[in-house]
Structure 1
Amino acid sequence: MSIGWHNAGLGGVDPHDGAAASHAWARARWVLLAGYLIAIPAFYLELLATSSLMLLIARALYGAMAVACMGAVARTAWSSRKPARFLDRNAFDVAIACGALVSVIGGANPWSSLEWVLRLAFMGMIALRIVVALRVYFEPNRLALLPLAGLTVLLLGGAGFYVLEPRVHSYAEGLWLAFESSATVGYGDIAPTTPASRVFAVFVVLLGYGLLSLAFAGIAAWFIGKEERRLRREMHRDIKTLHAEIVSLHRELEGLRDALAPRRGKSQGGGGTARQLGTR
């Protein structure tokens, strides 16, 4: 990864580390991604908990997330030649794993203002880490995946609003609210009213708007790249034509020089004879 990701605690394995660490990190990344995704249902189960069973399931999910993340990081650090450097390069993952462990013993509902801030910050870190983990699939050369990712966000967003928002009475209405949120349109016909749906709307807006922006940017980059390739082909063709004309002109000049060479010799010979006669 780049120096910027390293400074942010998302450096991955050092390129100069051993092959064992690289192989361990290649497997650990998927384990970490699975752990981050577990945090989403755990957060909402704890937020909407109406019984001790729901709270217990949420904390069990947080525990599974903590074990998965810590295990993946520890396994890669064990395979690394410089474990301390690896942990420093991936301090963001270490912080998320510690946050998941703390969430296992978190306070019960209703949350205090401080706990709301901490939990939202924790979920924001997880959302950022998921985006970083999936960024390779959002590159311009994989443009087809961007609309698919955006459609997935809309479908999941519709289901989430249908479950979390009391004013949404059908999946179609939830899908419409997810589209309004993702596109930042805000017609005002339906709006999130509960804390759970409002928190959910924040992530739908961030992910949906981000994916839509990436999709449009990717389409624009594709058209620009296509035009650049066309101009490059035309330039290459013009250069080849110019090269052929220069070669042809060079051959004509060589032929003209060869044709004038005998006449030049005769004129030089005649001039020498005249000078000899003049000296006599």
Structure 2
Amino acid sequence: MPSRLPRHWLLLCSLVATIPAFYLELLSPGGSSPVATAAYLIAALTVVLSGRRQHQHVHARQPRLRRVLTRLLIGGLVAAALLPPSSTSAPALVLRSLTAVLTLMHMVWCLRHLLARDSLPALLGTALGVLLLCGAGFWWLEPLTPTLADGLWLAFTTAATVGYGDVVPSTPASKIFSVFVVLLGFGILSLVTASIAAMWVETTERQVERDILQDLHAEIGQLRTELRATHAELQALQRRLPPTPAPAPTIAPDDQPSGNS
């Protein structure tokens, strides 16, 4: 497990880098960004190498749907690096958006061990990190959020699907970004609330189990006391009974004396 941990986080970091690459390519004045192209290609190469390293141990047991999604992700990352700019090609924008969705799904799969139901601290840390990143993204993309605090507020209202209306996405880039923020908000917030609810349920179940065990111990102790009392009564009764006489010895027919003799 420790040897897989660096590769695991390397894959996760390469996938995270494709998110700002999507907006760098979309907002680039020249219509293309070498940094975004490099980020897409590095992410595709990392996914391919990660799949080959896990082929002997995990690939045979992976669900077929996940294998198909991984191949689609690799193809989408390569296509996102080679297609024309999104600002001049609507199909390229759609394909890069779908690739971003597949990237988020793969990132969630990489974080599945941290997003367990009973790991509330890890979930809260993940939720805080996602909120900070989404706030920074709105601060960068949305002109109506001139400060990071405004970006964080817009990220929170978007992720929680509250929609107060005081600040709303106004540019195409921020509107696309808000779609991913809503998806992340649904996932992260539902996991956090489920983890908190599970903690309450487990606390109640443990209390019920503790009460049941206490009742069982009390009943077992009472049965032991009754068994000791019954055993003592039997011993006292045996001492009061008269001793049983020994049976008379029997004489075999061959040993009886003969009258003729």
The normalised TM-score by structure 1 is 0.77
1:240 partnered with 2:232:
no
Q: 1:74 maps to what in 2?
A: 52
Letter in 1 for 2:19: I
1:63 to 37, 41, 44: 41
1:82 offset after TM fit, Å?
10
Q: What is the letter of the counterpart of residue 42 of structure 1?
A: A
Distance 1:231 1:177, change over 3 A: same
Q: What CA distance in whole angstroms lies between the structure 2 residues aligned with 1:82 and 1:187?
A: 46
1:250 and 2:227 are equivalent in the alignment: yes
Aligned twin of 1:181: 158
Query: Equivalent of 1:41, from 20, 23, 26?
Result: 20
Contact 1:28 1:76 in 2 (8 A): no
Give the distance between the partners of 1:142 and 1:96, measured in 2 at CA.
29
Q: Distance in 1 between matches of 2:200 and 2:51?
A: 41
Preserved CA contact (<8 Å) 1:147 1:215: yes
Moved more, 81-90 or 227-236: 81-90
Structure with max Cα Rg: 2
Of residues 77, 85, 92 in structure 1, which corresponds to 2:69? 92
Cα distance in 1 for partners of 2:238, 2:101 equals 84
Structure 2 residue runs without a partner (length 5+)? 246-261
Matches of 1:69 and 1:144, distance apart in 2:
28
Paired AA for residue 177 in structure 1: L
Q: Deviation digits for residues 218-265 of structure 1, max 9, x if unmatched?
A: 1111121112112212221221111010000011112222233355x4
SS of the residue aligned with 1:61?
A: helix
User: Is contact 1:161-1:177 (8 Å) kept?
Assistant: yes
Q: Pick from 147, 150, 173: which aligns with 1:196? A: 173
What's the TM-score once normalised by structure 2's chain length? 0.82
Confirm whether residue 30 of structure 1 aligns to residue 6 of structure 2: no
Matched, 1:103 2:80: yes
2:87 and 2:93 in contact (8 A); partners too: no
Q: Describe the shift of the 1:86–1:201 C-alpha distance in structure 2 as closer, same or farther (beyond 3 A).
A: closer
Q: Which has the larger share of helix?
A: 1
C-alpha distance in 1 between matches for 2:237 and 2:174: 92
Q: Which residue is 2:254 aligned to?
A: none
Q: 2:123 touches 2:188 (CA, 8 Å); kept in 1?
A: yes
One of 124, 135, 144 as aligned partner of 1:167: 144
User: Equivalences for 1:203-218 in 2 at 5 Å?
Assistant: 203-218=180-195
- Distance in 1 (CA, whole Å) between partners of 2:58 and 2:170 is 50
1:259 to 219, 236, 241: 236
Matched, 1:51 2:30: yes
Deviations 1:111-162 (A, max 9, x none): 5443333222111111111111102112133211222211112211111111
Aligned-residue offset at 1:197: 0.4
Match 2:196 to one of 219, 236, 251: 219
1:155 counterpart = 2:132: yes
Contact 1:28/1:73 (CA < 8 Å) preserved in 2? no
Residue 25 of structure 1 and its aligned partner are, at CA, apart by 6.0
Aligned residues: 244
